[in-house]
Amino acid sequence: MPRKPKRKAPASPARHDTSPEPYPCHSSPSSAQCLAVRDALLVFHGFPEEFAPFRRLRLRLGGRSPNRDPRPQPLSPTVLDGLVITLLSQNTTDAISRRAFASLKAAFPSWDQVVDEEGKRLEDAILCGGLAATKAARIRAMLRDVRERRGKICLEYLRELSVDEVKKELSRFKGIGPKTVLRITKAMGWVPATASREKAYIHLNNKIPDDLKFDLNCLFVTHGKLCHSCTKKVGSDKSKSSNAACPLAGYCCIGEKLQKQ
């Protein structure tokens, strides 16, 4: 009699991060700390409008409805749109970066046109967002890299990858990185002061609950742009900056720690 084929064992779920914990003796942040800081930043800033569409999409995919408004909801943004918006949001306000993105899309109906255009039209289109030359160069380099590697300018494939794989893909693009989040989490004591970006990422990815990661990352980015206490550098004019209004001051004495860096 023919043998029955053996049943394959069900695949175990992929881990978000398979790297070893770099700071096993560093207990922070706890789940409770993460939740408290997320809620404090939400109360203070509200959820950043530039990331709100992606948050709604995540909640829908997770089976949770962010609102019960019966009216038709706007189309979900693409991964590439979100990445370009992130680049445009650096060193400016959310409102201004949204205007710059709208101006870019009006000037270039397709991403291929952005890559193929050799003049300064892209730079002119995003001029209102500041640092136009730098941002234009980074956007064009990113789009060109994607087209050369993938054959078309689209990043939707990232939705199917693990967290580690997405991080690896995005790290090839200049201007995309955890700089602001790293500075704030060091000041809060969530990672050691000597932590590198790579080790800080692994530690935080292991410690922060999955359902809080997206919110905290978006809120830290926004907070880093708006809070003088969290972004001031050593030697800056202390009279112009105060941590009195910082929603994180009560959690981590952030001002004092930053001054010691």
Active site positions, annotated: 179
Helix or strand holding residue 29 (H, E): none
Residues 143, 151: Cα–Cα separation, whole Å: 11
Distance CA 163, CA 148 (A): 23
DSSP assignments along 109-125, one per residue: SSHHHHHH--SSHHHHH
* CA atoms within 13 A of residue 27's CA, in its CB half-sphere: 3
Rounded to 10 deg, the angle between the 179-187 and 197-207 helix axes is 70
Q: Which amino acid appears at position 212 of this protein?
A: L
End-to-end CA distance of the chain: 74
Say how far apart CA 179 and CA 221 lie, in whole Å: 9
CB burial of 231-254 (b: ≥16 within 10 Å; e: otherwise) equals bbeeeeeeeebebeebbbbeebeb
| Contact (CB, 8 A) for 185 and 252 | no
d(CA 189, CA 256): 12
Question: What's phi and psi for 152, nearest 5 deg?
Answer: -155, 160
